[in-house]
Structure 1
């Protein structure tokens, strides 16, 4: 099974609306960050797909996390990102998130947040990179996905 097929199986475990939003968000982020390495973590609480310049989690620019009832976009350097629409949630020192809806996924405001996060990191994503998908971990024990 290819990593892409494995990721599709992971996403299929979620409710149809969550899965559809996640797939749309993943396509949108991939289009904004060409060449990004996608790191997949099928953890206890969520399925997370990070986008970064390499296979190191510390270099991730942003990630999509799927939970049983929603998907969120997490952004590195969230506290310092310009957010005129007030979409960012959370109080973390490094990462903030946007709870994704179908309407938000294609919005200019979310695109601007991704672009700002990509511009804020020390190690940028090479747009000419190979953009491979890497399954980093699969937890043996997981919370229900629906």
Structure 2
């Protein structure tokens, strides 16, 4: 707060606002999924520190995309979470070699890995897929200055982020 303007509201860095908003989105999930989303995000930030994180709190999924630019179409991969669990989506995964048969999905472009722990991302066959996804993206993920966190869209109507309680 500036002494020149009594009562002025202190400036809050945009990154703090984005992080707080992201925390609100993640808080909608069950505790186990919240922890897993955070752990997978931390692992991907360590692996791709220059990637921009593009956040979408959509109807079906909560998504954090990882892109070398601020353009969603340049994204290499993403975290996708719903009440059913957490996955890492490889945006151009259909074109990747998957000798271990880890990738799921039948679309023309995207494939996903089900994740039960951030440690899954350290398995050699998974790490190879992540590297291949990062290098084959429209704009490959490379080293550089830290990427930014951007809240891209929020849907007013969303599916529940927690499983229904069993009676």
**TM-score exceeds 0.5:** yes
1:61 is matched with 76
Q: Aligned partners of 1:130, 1:52: CA distance in 2, in Å? A: 12
Tell which has more relative contact order, 1 or 2 (C-alpha 8 A, sep 6+).
1
**Does structure 1 residue 122 correspond to structure 2 residue 141?**
no
Aligned residues: 146
2:106 is matched with 91
| 5+ residue gaps, structure 1 | none
Q: More deviation in 132-141 or 106-115?
A: 106-115
Rg comparison, structure with higher value: 2
CA spacing shift, 1:21–1:106, aligned 2, 3 Å: farther
The equivalences for 1:129-144 within 5 A come to 129-144=145-160
1:106 deviates by 3.5
| 5+ residue gaps, structure 2 | 1-15, 163-167
Q: Aligned partners of 1:14, 1:105: CA distance in 2, in Å? A: 21
1:110 deviates by 2.0
**Does structure 1 residue 28 correspond to structure 2 residue 43?**
yes
TM-score by length of 1: 0.93
Contact 2:69 2:139 in 1 (8 A): no
Q: Which portions of structure 1, spanning 4 or more consecutive aligned residues, are displaced by more than 6 angstroms?
A: none
- What whole-Å deviation, never above 9, does each CA across 1:84-139 have from its counterpart, x for those lacking one? 22110001111100111115243222221111101112312342133100000111
TM-score by length of 2: 0.82
1:81 deviates by 1.4
